[in-house]
């Protein structure tokens, strides 16, 4: 029997590619940049499986071009690049990679938070520019993290891990979530639930966003929300760029309405080099790398491969975001 055709949209860990290639007719897009749209539309015409990244838009147009498609396995925990409703309608399974990246992403969130608070990137630039002339009592003063108040917006798995790290810094931790967490979690992680987002924003010294991108969370943080924050507050975003209104953030950072920001994600990725945010010293911008550790990216790739192979066999992928597809069969 012919092996099912699959398209993998970027190079991932070799052992994972070997695993996929051993039971499929695999084509790999072995390029640093994502396949252009026309290439992607062309490649999917005969495939039963697609291993996609968050840079690949998997919408109705693509699904129409892929009549054989059984599974889209996304190498990411987030899947806002996929129209899951359309996939479900067509009986196409969608897989993602939750869990394995939780702690790595929380570590990076904390790295951003510490770096923004203590002006680490600015300090490195200062040193390299030859500005370090002496120990200066007023040089590069930042904000204390220990004993400060952290506000977590969207407290799922990653938010909770960030809370765990915050406890080590003796921080007070507030959280805002669609659903209140179990009391046991609140107790274990020392969390205070704040149902009103404005209240959380006004009390926190650091606000960190870990919500999923949905129509409800698009521009959740905009001018009015930024205006609620303290002038000494720092905003961290390691979720999705469009949850923060970037123009409003620019204004808030430029005018000193808030003190700083640490972003792993931007509204448009990659951020354009002429974006005004890049001219500001009080923002750190990383190229969407929160889950980028060797071990975690390997685990994510393995998980995506397992989802892909299960879906090709019409089995429920270990991590499936639309298991309804199976029930309907
Ligand atoms: C990365 O942003 C992911 O969703 O895994």
For residues 286 and 112, is the Cβ–Cβ distance under 8 A?
yes
Q: Residue 288 CA: which ligand 1 atom is closest?
A: 2
Task: Please pick, among 165, 181, 240, 297, the residue that the annotation labels catalytic.
Answer: 240
Residues 70 and 160 in one domain: no
Catalytic residue check, 176: no
What is the residue with the minimal CA distance to atom 1 of ligand 1? 76
For residues 258 and 229, is the Cβ–Cβ distance under 8 A?
yes
Residues 22 and 37 in one domain: yes
pLDDT at 1: 80
pLDDT digits (tens, 9 = 90+) for 226-269: 999 999 999 999 999 999 999 999 999 999 999 999 999 999 99
Neighbours of 141 (CB within 10 A): 9
Residues 51 and 176 in one domain: no
Residues 106 and 244 in one domain: yes
In angstroms, what is the C-alpha Rg of the chain? Answer: 22
Residues 159 and 207 in one domain: yes
pLDDT at 329: 65
Return the DSSP state at 211.
Answer: P
Strand-pairing partners, residue 192, are 174
Catalytic residue check, 269: yes
10 Å CB burial of residue 46 (0-12, 13-18, 19+) is middle
User: Would you put residue 50 in left (φ > 0), alpha (ψ -120 to 50) or beta?
Assistant: beta
pLDDT digits (tens, 9 = 90+) for 303-312: 999 999 999 9
For residues 229 and 202, is the Cβ–Cβ distance under 8 A?
yes
Q: Residue 76 CA: which ligand 1 atom is closest?
A: 5
pLDDT digits (tens, 9 = 90+) for 72-103: 999 999 999 999 999 999 999 999 999 999 99
Decide whether any atom of ligand 1 lies within 6 Å of the 155 Cβ.
Answer: no
Residues 92 and 161 in one domain: no
Catalytic residue check, 288: yes
| Predicted confidence band of residue 199 (pLDDT cuts 50, 70, 90) | very high
Residues 39 and 153 in one domain: no
Q: What are the two backbone dihedrals, phi and then psi, of residue 115, each rounded to the nearest 5 degrees?
A: -65, -40
Residues 94 and 106 in one domain: no
Tokens linked to 301: 């790739």
HSE of 135 in the Cβ direction (CA atoms, 13 Å)?
A: 0
For residues 217 and 243, is the Cβ–Cβ distance under 8 A?
yes
CATH of the domain at 60: 3.40.50.720
Neighbours of 310 (CB within 10 A): 19
Residues 93 and 124 in one domain: no
Mean pLDDT of 147-154: 98
What is the pairing mode between strands 260-263 and 149-153?
A: unpaired
Residues 156 and 251 in one domain: yes
Structural domains of the chain, count: 2
pLDDT for 327 beyond 90: no
User: What rounded mean pLDDT belongs to the chain?
Assistant: 97
Residues 239 and 275 in one domain: yes
pLDDT digits (tens, 9 = 90+) for 277-292: 999 999 999 999 999 9
What's the rounded Cα separation, in Å, for the pair 319 and 329? 18
Q: Is the pTM of this model over 0.85?
A: yes
Full residue range of the structural domain in which residue 180 is found: 102-285
């Amino acid at each position: 029997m012919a092996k099912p055709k699959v398209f993998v949209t970027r190079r991932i860990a070799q052992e994972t590619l070997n695993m996929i290639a051993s039971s499929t007719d695999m084509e790999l897009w072995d390029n640093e940049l994502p396949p252009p749209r026309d290439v992607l539309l062309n490649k999917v015409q005969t495939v039963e499986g697609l291993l996609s990244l968050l840079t690949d838009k998997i919408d109705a147009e693509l699904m129409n071009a892929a009549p054989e498609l059984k599974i889209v396995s996304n190498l990411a925990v987030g899947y806002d690049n996929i129209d899951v409703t359309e996939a479900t309608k067509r009986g196409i399974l969608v897989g993602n990679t939750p869990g394995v990246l939780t702690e790595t992403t929380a570590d990076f969130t904390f790295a951003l938070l510490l770096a923004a608070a203590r002006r680490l990137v600015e300090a490195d630039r200062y040193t390299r520019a030859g500005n370090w002339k002496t120990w200066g009592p007023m040089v590069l003063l930042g904000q204390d993290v220990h004993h400060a108040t952290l506000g977590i917006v969207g407290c799922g798995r990653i938010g909770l891990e960030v809370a765990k790290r915050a406890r080590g810094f003796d921080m007070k931790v507030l959280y805002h979530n669609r659903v209140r967490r179990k009391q046991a979690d609140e107790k274990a992680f020392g969390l205070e639930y704040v149902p009103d987002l404005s209240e959380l924003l006004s009390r926190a010294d650091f606000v960190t966003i870990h919500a999923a991108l949905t129509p409800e969370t698009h521009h959740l943080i905009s001018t009015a929300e930024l205006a609620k924050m303290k002038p000494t507050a720092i905003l961290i975003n390691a979720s999705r760029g469009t949850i923060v209104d970037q123009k409003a953030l620019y204004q808030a950072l430029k005018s000193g309405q808030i003190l700083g920001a640490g972003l792993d994600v931007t509204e448009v990725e990659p951020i354009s080099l002429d974006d005004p945010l890049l001219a500001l010293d009080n923002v750190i911008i990383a190229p969407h790398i929160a889950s980028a550790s060797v071990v975690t990216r390997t685990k994510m790739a393995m998980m995506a491969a397992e989802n892909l192979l299960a879906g090709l066999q019409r089995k429920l992928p270990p991590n499936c975001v639309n298991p309804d597809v199976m029930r309907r069969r």
